[in-house]
Amino acid sequence: MSSPELSGRELAVLRVIAQGISNIDIATALIISESTVESHRNRLLSKLGVSDPCGICKAARVQAVIVAVKRRLVSL
């Protein structure tokens, strides 16, 4: 299962997503803008092969976490 490597910041965003945190709270925690969080989220979803047809579906976030756990990128 080969895929592009996640950047350090994408991994940081993914780890916080795995905690169920909202984009605005991720932005606050990582001291970045909400739009930057969204950019990182979109790139990591793409790299993980997760589609997000509605733009910010909770299901896509959950699927990204499942894929990341299976690939041992994050642990819960």
Contacts of 46 (CB under 8 A, 6+ apart): none
Coil vs helix vs strand at 57: coil
Question: What CATH number did the domain enclosing 33 receive?
Answer: 1.10.10.10
Domain ranges, residue 56:
8-70
Question: Is residue 76 included in any domain, yes or no?
Answer: no
Give the chain's domain count.
1
Q: What is the pTM of this model?
A: 0.77
> Could you tell me how many residues make up the chain?
76
Per-residue pLDDT 10s for the chain (76 aa) are 455 799 999 999 999 988 888 899 999 999 999 999 999 988 988 898 888 766 667 778 788 888 888 988 888 7
